[in-house]
A and B are shown apart, each in its own frame.
Chain A
Amino acid sequence: MKSPIGRFISYLFLVIVSFISVFPFYWMFVLSTRSNADAFKFPPILTPGNQFFTNLQTAWERSDFLTATVNTLIITGTVTVSQLFFCSLAAFALARLTFKGRKFLLLFIIITLTLPGIGQIPLYMIISKLNWINDLRAVIVPALVSAFGVFLIKQYIDASVHPELIESAKVDGARNFQTYYKIVLPIIKPGLATLAIITFMGTWNAFIWESIVLRDESVRTIQLAIRNLQGTYTRETAIVVTGAFVATLPLLAIFIPFSRQFIAGLAEGSVKG
């Protein structure tokens, strides 16, 4: 675009959109540093205060954030590590090993990716039969591997691991697992990083299934803890928002330094799919 007016309008548009995207984060920050009384002022106060640690302490005590954080870390850690391993293993088999029914399995995975998830009721019955209600295993075990992860890594292997590389490894006498471990894994590291961030984020933020099977305070996750705070202390805006802000910070801490890679990885996976 040559004309300066066109350029100006473009930049103005981008600045406004960026501002709207970032402002609610700033607003979370402002409210979490203000007292509850400040949150009920009109016109609203737009600058941060100094109540953050007081709010944090109150939120922390009210909803047992320590337990919630530990639970969330156990769940996200286990699920992320397990997804990386099982998804990449299945993806390797689907992308680079020849066996009967491979194409059918692949089609099956793609179909399941598009199906809406309505299995919560029977899933609840299964989990209940296993005696896993109010047990972290209820959310960990069904999430150990996912169709999305298998598909994402399979796309990545298709694009970056040349079949000849696998063939030459076989000629050299490598077993399939060695080929996977020593040749494929190092090449697909960027793809694994993308899957790791997506899985971590998704699991950290997960709420629906958790709210069904984890109803006891001792097994609450961070999302359930802030929802509980919000449902119980409706008038204490500053405390509730502090909870939400603290639950969001770790994600921003991961996202901001890795945003380039993460955005590229996510876009690549979707466009190819």
Chain B
Amino acid sequence: MSMGNKSENKKPRFKYGSQASKDALSGYLYVSPFFLLFTVFGLFPILFNMYVSLFSWRLFKGEPEFIGFQNYVWLLTDDPTFIKSIVNTFSMWFMATLPQLFLALVIAFVLNQAFVKFKDMFRMAIFMPFVTSLVAVTIIFGNLFSRDYGLINFILGTQGLDWLNDNRWLSHFAITLMVNWRWIGYNTIIYMAGLQTISKELYEAATIDGASKVQQFFYITIPQLRPIILFTLIMSVSGGMQLFVEPLVWAGAGGGADNQVLTMFLYMYNTAFGVQYNIGYGAAIGWVMFIIIILFAILNWIISTKLIKD
């Protein structure tokens, strides 16, 4: 075998006009629109956010002034509103996520039983909320929760109960219901797809061994769906931590008179795009939020991997 042949075998893609070089050329060409747009409008802004956060910077008002990490210092040591927004965000996430994923699992499990008829119809009904816009959802739930004329207060016999203003945790609970109404169906669909991959023999064997449906749910369904449950959990971390539209539309940009439903994202939005256009401080909120979300996602990953294994 000659040297020339050897190198040709090793690197065929460099041969001019060959299929491999054409493939490479088309490959780069075809992915370039995505990477070009993404770099300019997606990646660069996330990185540049760091730079902006080092300035005292108001849009349309004077020159930006470099202040180092001062924004972060203020944010973490001297801003009770920000701390409140963090607590609110986590409180709503905890109230929403566990019931949301658990209920979705149960619905998927029941819907997947062989005897259930009208499966398509149930599935469509349960998934329908996902189609609605957040603005519309919040408008309609705002009406359902209304203090003096709301249907929910009528059903519960609690006329006069102000879901938004009477109690901070109650207002979180109301938001949680809006969130879960929209997302339970989505998670159900994902879980149902996952259930198709579990072999029927597992259930049959369990039935022969005398396991009840409830036992099957906890000892077969949940462990078998582990990767998919993790997927939905991480999705809900990223979504729930960025909760925004429901508090904004229901309670206004300040997240209520007492900031009781103000979330991290809403606080960033107000700071950067409210009257002040304080983008330096807003960018710092963005970065802290970013780090909180990543850390919390990793934490969730670790805890749930361990929990579901046992």
Contacts and interface: CB of A to CB of B under 8 A. Distances in A.
A14 B189 contact: no
A273 B194 CA distance: 12
A263 B127 contact: yes
B110 A10 contact: yes
Interface string A240-267: 1100110110011001100110011011
Given A14-B111, A90-B30, A176-B22, 16 more contacts: A6-B213, A17-B122, A17-B126, A18-B126, A21-B185, A24-B129, A27-B140, A44-B151, A90-B31, A125-B279, A142-B42, A145-B38, A230-B135, A248-B132, A252-B131, A270-B231
B116 A10 contact: yes
Interface stretch (A47-55, A62-70, A108-116): A108-116
B101 interface: no
Contact of B181 (A24, A86, A114, A180): A24
Interface in A175-229: 175-177, 180, 201, 204-205, 207-208, 212, 223, 226-227
B277 to A, nearest CB: 9
Q: By DSSP majority rule, is chain A's interface helix, strand, loop, or mixed? A: helix
14 contacts: A89-B30, A93-B27, A112-B38, A116-B289, A119-B41, A125-B59, A145-B33, A145-B34, A205-B134, A230-B249, A267-B190, A271-B190, A271-B193, A271-B194
Contact of B26 (A27, A145, A177): A177
A120 B148 CA distance: 38
Contacts of A114: 234, 238, 297
Counting chain A residues whose Cβ lies within 8 A of the other chain, the interface size class is: 35 or more
Interface of B: 13, 19-20, 22-24, 26-31, 33-35, 37-38, 40-46, 48-49, 52, 59, 103, 106-107, 110-111, 113, 115-116, 120-129, 131-137, 139-141, 143-144, 148-151, 154, 159, 181, 184-186, 189-190, 192-194, 197, 213, 228, 231, 234, 238, 241-242, 244-245, 249, 268-269, 272-273, 279, 282-283, 286-287, 289-290, 293-294, 297
Given A24-B144, A116-B242, A176-B23, A126 B45 contact: yes
A102 interface: yes
B52 A122 contact: yes
A123 B272 CA distance: 12
Contacts of A20: 181
A112 B126 CA distance: 30
A266 B45 CA distance: 29
Contacts, number: 273
Contact of A25 (B126, B128, B135, B234): B128
B243 to A, nearest CB: 11
B272 to A, nearest CB: 5
A42 B133 contact: no
Contacts of A74: none
A122 B124 contact: no
Contacts of B273: 120, 124, 212
Contacts of A41: 149
Contacts of B52: 121-122, 125
A135 to B, nearest CB: 15
B12 to A, nearest CB: 10
A99 B184 CA distance: 41
Contacts of B135: 205, 207, 223, 226-227, 230, 244, 247
Nearest to A42: B149
A126 B190 contact: no
A228 to B, nearest CB: 10
Given A118-B287, A176-B22, A251 B122 contact: no
